[in-house]
Amino acid sequence: MQARWTVILGGVAMLGAGAIAAAPKKPAAPPAPTPAPTPQPKARYAMDVGTTTGIAGLAGGGAGAAMSMMFGGGGREARELHLRLGSTLSATGAPLADHFFQPAAKLGKSVPLLSPEIVASDPMPRDFQRPKGRLLLYWGCGVHAPKGQPVVIDFSKIAAGQMPPNLYTARIPADRGPTAQNSRTFGEWPNRKSGKQPQSGSLIGNHRVSSTYSPEIQFALGQDYMAGLNAQTSPATDGAFNVNWNSVPTATGYYAWVMGMKMDEAGGDGPRDMVWWSSASGREFGGGLFDWLSPAVVQRLIADRTVMPPSQTSCTVPAEVKAAAPDFMIGNLYAYGPEANFSFPPRPATGPWIPEWTARVRFRSMTTWMIGGPMADAGPGQAKKCKPSLFGAVTGVGC
């Protein structure tokens, strides 16, 4: 998703003065020794690898891909790569960096990692439409939503220019690794000069990252792009609907979300209600769930039923969600995958470790599909024009 809002929720634990006075006095414990800070490597590299289908993999697919997008989350597969290099060093001369691939990757000899230009920008599009109506939040797989749902956010009660409070989860922050903010020198791909994603190819084999501001990084990948997801929907009892998908062999867990809308019956040009459902058993939306997650994090989230286990290949979206969003729905499914980590020198079994560089490669597969709505109903040349909106910012689609 291109636009994100991160909501950091904090709390203050308070201890009553009476309880302190009533507690028996104990001798003060000696202060715990302060652990020595972990030495930071001179360079950190992050490589996020994705397989996309449905809307996410639509680019260049033509009418056949569009039909697949409307009726299911399978069809044409596309690839996505996001590369980020961060260093504690200053560049020798101009900050230049390249990632060199094997010919099988079909990315040419290399792709350039450019340092971003610092430009002032308005966080909101100039023609951003302040949302009207309400946002209804549902969560959990099942024929019916549990009591206490939905949570309703009334946009009329939110100050102009503000995002809805508590919209994204703070418990699962996105881990971007190196960024321009936490690095002295930084480069990334895609960028303003280069960004054409591969449509096929393989990443297995040797990789090399060379730059003017970090040690040379070399590693060999034994893991390739994950298999594509194919999600299908079918009616369930009482107006609910089932989502079924294929098992992805290397998946560590799955997470689904659906967003829909109910149009303004009074003839307005926007939705009266926007509806957002998450497959998590608790109120967990967005945040790191929209990103790449490590197997260790996924395992913890499976334990608390935020993420579905890799053995699960279906989930029922409650009837209340469909009833609240009869006019348009878009479905999204993530399969989180493995992670590969490299360093030089390698981490020893015991003793101190001061790496020159580290590299992390994460994998995922995702699909997005539409369930009715104006885009699915429009014929050739009838696509609706629309202005940027909160719905488009959350889903990544224009209407």
pLDDT tens per residue, range 206-244: 999 999 999 999 999 999 999 999 999 999 999 999 999
Instruction: HSE, CB side, 13 Å, CA atoms: give it for residue 251.
Output: 25
Indicate whether 67 pLDDT > 70. no
Helical residues (DSSP H) of the chain, grouped into ranges: 17-22, 62-71, 295-303, 319-324, 374-377, 390-395
Q: Parallel, antiparallel, or unpaired: how do β-strands 97-100 and 205-211 relate?
A: antiparallel
Token pair recorded at residue 378: 């429009």
- Report the 10 Å Cβ neighbour count for 252: 24
What's the pLDDT band for 155 if we cut at 50, 70, 90?
confident
The residue ranking higher by pLDDT, 216 or 25, is 216
pLDDT, averaged across the chain: 80
Q: pLDDT tens across 345-389, in order? A: 988 888 888 999 999 999 999 999 987 544 333 333 333 444 444
Who's near 25: CB < 8 A, 6+ residues apart? none
User: d(Cα 5, Cα 169) in Å, to the nearest integer?
Assistant: 10
Beta-bridged to residue 339, according to DSSP, are 362
Q: Tell me whether residue 6 is in a domain.
A: no
User: d(Cα 175, Cα 343) in Å, to the nearest integer?
Assistant: 19
Sheet hosting strand 217-221, strand order edge to edge = 110-112, 97-100, 205-211, 217-221
Q: Tokens 């209804």 identify what position?
A: 136
Residue 267, domain extent = 42-395
Q: Tokens 């979206």 identify what position?
A: 317
Q: Tell me whether residue 137 is in a domain.
A: yes
Q: Tell me whether residue 312 is in a domain.
A: yes
Buried b (16+ CB within 10 A) or exposed e, 363-386: bbbbbbbbbebbbbeeeeeeeeeb
Q: Tell me whether residue 7 is in a domain.
A: no
Of all residues in the chain, what percent carry a pLDDT higher than 90? 57
DSSP string computed for 103-119: GGG-S-SEEE-BPPP--
From the list 165, 171, 391, 149, the residue with the least C-alpha distance to 289 is 171
State the pLDDT at residue 117.
83
Q: How many domains does the chain divide into?
A: 1
The residue ranking higher by pLDDT, 340 or 27, is 340
User: d(Cα 245, Cα 308) in Å, to the nearest integer?
Assistant: 12
Q: Tell me whether residue 240 is in a domain.
A: yes
**Residue type at 147?**
K
Q: Tell me whether residue 9 is in a domain.
A: no
* Cβ-contact 116, 191 below 8 angstroms: yes
From the list 251, 231, 256, the residue with the least C-alpha distance to 365 is 251
Predicted model pTM: 0.80
* Cβ-contact 207, 218 below 8 angstroms: yes
State the pLDDT at residue 348.
87
Q: Tell me whether residue 1 is in a domain.
A: no
Q: Tell me whether residue 390 is in a domain.
A: yes
Q: SS3 for 320?
A: helix
